[in-house]
């Protein structure tokens, strides 16, 4: 219906709209939530480290 009144307007698919909503949601969460640090230590039965997680650091 909108394209009838404004022929230059491109109609977006559901996937495009969902992508926009998810991007705005993620951006809002980053703006509102405080920075969090998580320390994760997982060891196998022999006592050596079982999991190593490498994430990018934020400054």
> Which are the contacts of 33, defined by CB distance < 8 A and separation ≥ 6?
none
- CA gap 20, 29 in Å, rounded: 14
Q: Is residue 23 within 8 Å of 30, Cβ to Cβ?
A: no
Alpha helices by DSSP H, listed for the chain, are 2-5, 14-32
- What pLDDT, on a 0 to 100 scale, did the predictor assign at position 29? 66
pLDDT score at 51: 76
9 CB-near residues (< 8 Å, 6+ apart)? 2, 3
25-50, pLDDT tens digit by residue? 777 766 666 767 777 777 888 888 77
- Identify the pLDDT of residue 59: 63
* pLDDT for residue 31: 66
Classified as helix, coil or strand, 43 is strand
């Amino acid at each position: 219906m909108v394209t009838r009144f404004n022929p230059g307007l491109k109609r977006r698919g559901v996937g495009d709209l969902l992508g926009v909503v998810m991007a705005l949601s993620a951006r809002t969460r980053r703006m509102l939530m405080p920075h969090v640090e998580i320390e994760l230590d997982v060891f196998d039965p022999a006592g050596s480290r079982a999991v190593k997680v490498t994430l990018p650091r934020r400054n």
